[in-house]
Amino acid sequence: MRVTLTINGRRRQYVADPGLVLLDLLRDELHLTGAKQGCDRKGQCGACTVIVDGKAVRSCVTKVARLDGADVITVEGLGTPENPHLIQEAFVLAGAVQCGFCIPGMVTATKALLDANPDPSTDEVKRALRHNLCRCTGYVKIIEAVKLAGAFLRGETTPDALRPDPNGPKIGVSHPRPSAMIKACGVAEFTADVVAPGALELAAVHSPHAHALIRGIDTSAAAAMPGVVGVMTAADIKGSNRHNYMVADRPVLCEDRVRYIGDPVAVVVAATREQALAAVAAVKVDYEPLPVLASPDEAMAEDAPQIHEEWSNVCLTQPQVKGDAAKALAESAAVVEAHYHTQLNHQAPLEPETCLAFFDGDGDQAQLVVVGRSINIHKHLAMLQDATGWEDMRYEEAFVGGQFGIKIDVTSEGLAAAAAVQFGRAVRYIPSIQESMFLSPKRHPFDMKLKLGADADGNLTALTMDILVDNGAYNSMGNVVMNRAVMMLSGSYNIPNVDVMARLVYTNNPWGAAARGAGPPQVNFALESAVDQLARKMAIDPLEFRRRNSLHPGQSKSTGQVVEEWPFPELCDAVRPSYERAAREARENSSDSVKRGVGLAGGSFGIGGPNDQSMVAIELDPDDGVTVYGAVADPGEGNDSMLQQLAADAMGLPLAKVRLVTRDTDHTTANGPSAASRHTYMSGGSMLDAIRQLKEAMAGCSATTYADMQGAGVPTRYMGTKKMVVGNLDPATGQGPSFESQVHAVQLAEVEVDTRTGDVRVLKMTCAVDAGRVIHPDNVVGQLQGGMDMGVGLALREEYIAGETKDWVTFKYPSMRTAFDMDVIVLETPRKYGTNGSVGVGEMTLVPTAPAVLNAIEDAVGVRVYDLPATPDRVKEALAAAVKH
C-alpha cells in the first residue's frame, strides 16, 4: 500500500508491503542505519527507537502501513558529528557512550522524553527509557546523560562550559572518546551497517541435539527453494574446517557428529535473509542420538564415551600445592567447609554476532575481506585462513556492540568466510539472538569444594579446593581460563598453605571461553563466600577480617609469587565509612518481611598473562602529529582514549594530532586480544616505548619537526615492545610467578530480601578500586559501573540454559528496572611496572560483585545460597531449610 511519510524533515511516498516494519524501511531502503537491530525485531532491546509524531517507538515493531502522514525523526535527524544536537553532546560529555550500540536508541528516547518533560526526575527517566537496554554502562551514566541533556536544553549550562580543553592536560582528564560523537549521531558503522549490495544472506542449521551422530544431510529440497544460491556442508569446506584457538577441536561445520545444542551443521545462502531462513527449515539432517554427558562428573565416569576421539574428556589437570594444608587445617581454630557452584552464562553483548565477508579485487588477485566483531584480528585472521583454506585475506574490525570476552574466539566469521569462498560472492550473516547464543562461547560453570581455616587470632591458615570446570563441547581457551583461576586462587589474601586440584572437562554443554574475568570470578565467589562465613563463625567483623588477612609486600600468593605492592588494606579503609553507614541503614530499615543486609567481597586481579607481549608502532606525520599503529581493539572499554591521551601527553600534542590505526590486519602488528584487562598495561606500554625511541631519535639529530627528521635522513617510524617476564605455572605444583601487576578492589553490596517471595533487590553497590594512575576518570568509572551491573546479573538472575534461553527476556537482561545506585571510590597507587603507573580495570568489578551480593543476603536473612544465581526459588529454599533446622 502507499503511505506518505516525513522522515527527518523530508516528505516522501512509499509503497510498502503490509508486513514491512519501519526499522527495515529505514535501514534497508534509506540506509539510515543509526537505528540498530538487537533483538530479532521482538521489541525487547530498544536499540531501534525512533520518534514518531513526538513519541519514542520501537521501529522494529512499527508497521509502515500504519504510518500514513506520520512525522518520523531518527537519530540522524537530530544532529551530525559536525553539528550535534545538545542531547548527543550530553551523552558524549557524560561518558555514557561505551560500545555505542544502544546509544542512538537512547538518544531518540531522550529527545521524546525531554520534549514532553523538560526536567524529569530519575524515576521518570527510568520509566521513559525502560525499553532501552544497555549491557555496558549499568545505566548510571545514561541517566546522568539524560539529566545533563535536560540542563543543556533548559540553558542552565553548555557543552563548552563542560568540555575539557583538548590542548590542556591529557592524563587524569575525561576527554571525549575519539568515537563517542559518531556513535551518538548514529554514523559509526557496525558490521550490519555496511552497505553491501548483492551480498548473499546466510542462515545456518543448528543441532537440536546435545550429542548425536550425523547419518546424512539432505540439502536437495532447500537448494531448490526460491532465492537460494546454495547449501554448504562440512564436505564443501576446502581448509581444515577447524577453529584452532589452542586445540583444533571445533569444526566450522560439524562433520560426522554434533556435540552441543546449537552446533552448526550446514548453511544456506540466498538472495534475502528470509529466503535463507526458509530454506534452512527444509534441510533434513538424519541424526542418531548418542548418550549426553551433561556434567564433568558424568564425563569423568569410567564408562563415559569420549566426546572427541583425539582427546580425553579430561582436557587439563592443574594442581596447586603450597605448604601443608592438611596439617594446617587440622591445627586451625575454625574451619569452613562448603560446596559452591557457578552457572553457565552468556556474556550478552547487545549486537548479534554479525559478519560480512567479501572479495576485494578480481580473480586470483581477489583478497577476501572479513568484517566482524573480533578483539584479536591477527589471531582470528590466521584461524580463518587455516579453516577456509583461503590464504589472501584481511580482517577489519567494525565497531562492535559490546563483547565482555565473547569475541575472544571466532564465531560467525568462520561460516561467512567459508561460504564466501564456496560461492565466490559476498556473504553477510546476521544471526538471530538465539543463533548468536548458539555460536558463541559462554562463561564456564565451576563446581568447587572448599575448606578454609583460620587460627584463633583470625589469621587465615589454609585453603583446599577441588575444582571441576565444565569446558563444554570444545576447548577454545579453556586451559587459559582454568589456569587464570588457579593463578588468582588466593585472591587478596595471605594464605600460607594451599592444596588444590583443578580439572577441566569436556561435556556436551555449550562451550566456554573468555567471559569478563575469565575464571577468577568463579573461584573468587567460593573464596569470598567462605571468607565471610569464617569471619561470621569467629565473630570477627568481615571488613576487619579481610583487612587483617590482606597480603603485604614481601608475602606470597598461592602461586608462591612474592608480591611487591599490594594496596588492598588501604581499600578496606577507604570503604569503611560507606560500610558503617550501610550497616546502620540496614538495621534501621528492615521489617519483619523485607530485610536489609550488607555484604563485602574483595578481589585482586592479575593483568595480562604469562609470556604476554605487545608491539605498537608510532610514526611522526608531516604535520608533526603522530599516527599509532597496532591492533588494539576497542569494543567499548576505552582503549582508543587510552592510546590517544597517553600519546598526546608523551609527545606534547593536542589530541586531534594523534591518529589511531588499530582495526585492520593489513596496517597493524599483531598485538594480542582486548582481554585480561591488558591493553593499558601492554599496548599502552609498548606505545610509550615506541615514543621513547622516536623522541630519542629526534633529540639525536636535534629535530623538532617532521621536516627536520626528513632533512637529517632519520627514520620517522619506530616499533615499541613490552614483554611480560612471567611464565606459566609449574604443571605439577601450580607454583610460579603469575603476574607482574594487579588491580585491587573491595566491594560493598546493600540488598533487600523479601522473605515471602525470596526476591532480592540490590539497592546500592560501592566499589573501592586501585588500578594505579587514572588516565581517563569517566572510562574507569564506566567500566566499574558496567561490571557491577553485570556482576549483579550473575549473582541474582542470569543463566544460559541450552535450548531454553533464546532472547533477552528469557536471558533476564538487565534494564532500567533492575538498575541500582552505585558509588565508586578510586585510589591511585602508581604501579611499578604499569604504563605511567597505570594498569587495566575492565574486569575488576566482575570478580567481587557476586560474592558481595550473596554475603549481603546472608547478612539480611541469615541463610546462605551456594549456587549462582541466587534466584527467588533458591533463596526461599534456603530460608525453608533454615526453618526446618
Catalytic residue IDs: 843
State the nearest-atom distance from the C-beta of 27 to ligand FES, in Å. Answer: 10
* Region from 44-52, 540-548, 562-570, 819-827 binding ligand FES, contact rule CB under 6 A: 44-52
461's enclosing H/E stretch is: strand 460-472
The DSSP 8-state label assigned to residue 367 in this structure reads: E
State the nearest-atom distance from the C-beta of 607 to ligand FES, in Å. Answer: 23
45 binds ligand FES (CB under 6 A): yes
Spatial separation of the C-alpha atoms in residues 724 and 771, rounded to whole Å? 18
Out of 52, 134, 498, 824, name the contact with ligand FES by CB under 6 A: 134
Spatial separation of the C-alpha atoms in residues 91 and 86, rounded to whole Å? 9
Of 673, 779, 806, 608, residue with least CA distance to 405: 673
Of 11, 400, 50, 344, residue with least CA distance to 192: 400
Spatial separation of the C-alpha atoms in residues 435 and 205, rounded to whole Å? 9
Find the farthest-apart pair of alpha carbons in the chain and give their distance in angstroms, rounded. 87
Rounded to 5 degrees, φ, ψ at 811 are: -80, -20
101 binds ligand FES (CB under 6 A): yes
Q: Using alpha carbons, list the distances in angstroms from residue 810 to 60, 634, 793, 798.
A: 19, 29, 13, 9
Spatial separation of the C-alpha atoms in residues 838 and 741, rounded to whole Å? 10
Residue with Cβ nearer ligand FES (16 or 39): 39
98 binds ligand FES (CB under 6 A): yes
State the nearest-atom distance from the C-beta of 786 to ligand FES, in Å. Answer: 8
Residue with Cβ nearer ligand FES (103 or 687): 103
Out of 34, 100, 296, 851, name the contact with ligand FES by CB under 6 A: 100
417's enclosing H/E stretch is: helix 412-423
Cell of 627: 599516527
Residue with Cβ nearer ligand FES (103 or 620): 103
State the nearest-atom distance from the C-beta of 815 to ligand FES, in Å. Answer: 12
Residue with Cβ nearer ligand FES (135 or 595): 135
Strand pairing partners for 2? Answer: 15
The count of other CB atoms within 10 Å of the CB of residue 506 is 28
Residue with Cβ nearer ligand FES (239 or 636): 636
The total number of residues shown for the chain amounts to 885
Q: Using alpha carbons, list the distances in angstroms from residue 326 to 110, 182, 323, 451.
A: 60, 59, 9, 10
Residue with Cβ nearer ligand FES (73 or 387): 73
Spatial separation of the C-alpha atoms in residues 149 and 114, rounded to whole Å? 8
State the nearest-atom distance from the C-beta of 642 to ligand FES, in Å. Answer: 17
State the nearest-atom distance from the C-beta of 298 to ligand FES, in Å. Answer: 37
Binding residues among 384-403 for ligand FES as defined by CB under 6 A? 401-402
The count of other CB atoms within 10 Å of the CB of residue 580 is 12
Out of 14, 16, 26, 44, name the contact with ligand FES by CB under 6 A: 44
Amino acid at 244: N
State the nearest-atom distance from the C-beta of 192 to ligand FES, in Å. Answer: 11
Out of 34, 46, 264, 496, name the contact with ligand FES by CB under 6 A: 46
24's enclosing H/E stretch is: helix 22-24
381's enclosing H/E stretch is: helix 377-388
Residue with Cβ nearer ligand FES (411 or 432): 432
Out of 16, 47, 415, 563, name the contact with ligand FES by CB under 6 A: 47
State the nearest-atom distance from the C-beta of 635 to ligand FES, in Å. Answer: 9
Strand pairing partners for 778? Answer: none
State the nearest-atom distance from the C-beta of 61 to ligand FES, in Å. Answer: 6
668 binds ligand FES (CB under 6 A): no
Residue with Cβ nearer ligand FES (570 or 807): 807
What is the SS3 assignment for 59? helix
Spatial separation of the C-alpha atoms in residues 795 and 872, rounded to whole Å? 12
522 binds ligand FES (CB under 6 A): no
Out of 102, 299, 355, 694, name the contact with ligand FES by CB under 6 A: 102
Out of 51, 52, 73, 136, name the contact with ligand FES by CB under 6 A: 136
Q: What string of DSSP letters covers 554-569?
A: T-B-TT-PBPS---HH
- Please work out the total of residues on this chain that contact ligand FES, with binding judged by CB under 6 A: 26
Site string for ligand FES, 329-368 (x = CB under 6 A): ---------------------x------------------
604's enclosing H/E stretch is: strand 594-606
373 binds ligand FES (CB under 6 A): no
51 binds ligand FES (CB under 6 A): no
* Region from 134-142, 154-162, 294-302, 736-744 binding ligand FES, contact rule CB under 6 A: 134-142
Residue with Cβ nearer ligand FES (38 or 787): 38
Of 475, 490, 443, residue with least CA distance to 341: 443
State the nearest-atom distance from the C-beta of 33 to ligand FES, in Å. Answer: 13
Binding residues among 3-42 for ligand FES as defined by CB under 6 A? 37-39, 41
Contact 300, 313 (CB under 8 A): yes
* Region from 98-106, 516-524, 548-556, 834-842 binding ligand FES, contact rule CB under 6 A: 98-106
Out of 7, 60, 328, 408, name the contact with ligand FES by CB under 6 A: 60
* Region from 95-103, 382-390, 655-663, 733-741 binding ligand FES, contact rule CB under 6 A: 95-103
User: Residue 639 contacts by C-beta under 8 Å, 6 or more apart in sequence?
Assistant: 632, 633, 662, 674, 679, 680, 683
* Region from 97-105, 551-559, 812-820, 830-838 binding ligand FES, contact rule CB under 6 A: 97-105
Helix axes 520-537, 478-487, angle to 10 degrees: 30
CA 591, 593, 594, 597 dihedral sign is positive
Spatial separation of the C-alpha atoms in residues 257 and 516, rounded to whole Å? 30
Of 196, 515, 182, 174, residue with least CA distance to 375: 515
Contact 871, 853 (CB under 8 A): no
Spatial separation of the C-alpha atoms in residues 236 and 267, rounded to whole Å? 11
383 binds ligand FES (CB under 6 A): no
Binding residues among 627-656 for ligand FES as defined by CB under 6 A? 636
135 binds ligand FES (CB under 6 A): yes
* Region from 94-102, 243-251, 746-754, 831-839 binding ligand FES, contact rule CB under 6 A: 94-102
The count of other CB atoms within 10 Å of the CB of residue 196 is 15
Distance, C-alpha 38 to centroid of its chain: 16
404 binds ligand FES (CB under 6 A): no
Distance, C-alpha 772 to centroid of its chain: 22
State the nearest-atom distance from the C-beta of 817 to ligand FES, in Å. Answer: 16
Site string for ligand FES, 184-223 (x = CB under 6 A): ----------------------------------------
State the nearest-atom distance from the C-beta of 100 to ligand FES, in Å. Answer: 6
Rounded to 5 degrees, φ, ψ at 781 are: -65, -40
State the nearest-atom distance from the C-beta of 48 to ligand FES, in Å. Answer: 3
Residue with Cβ nearer ligand FES (56 or 252): 56
Spatial separation of the C-alpha atoms in residues 290 and 258, rounded to whole Å? 9
Residue with Cβ nearer ligand FES (433 or 854): 433
Amino acid at 43: G
Site string for ligand FES, 137-176 (x = CB under 6 A): x---------------------------------------
662 binds ligand FES (CB under 6 A): no
Q: What string of DSSP letters covers 74-86?
A: -GGGT--SSS--H
Q: Which parts of this chain interact with ligand FES (CB under 6 A)?
A: 37-39, 41, 43-48, 58, 60, 98-103, 134-137, 350, 401-402, 636
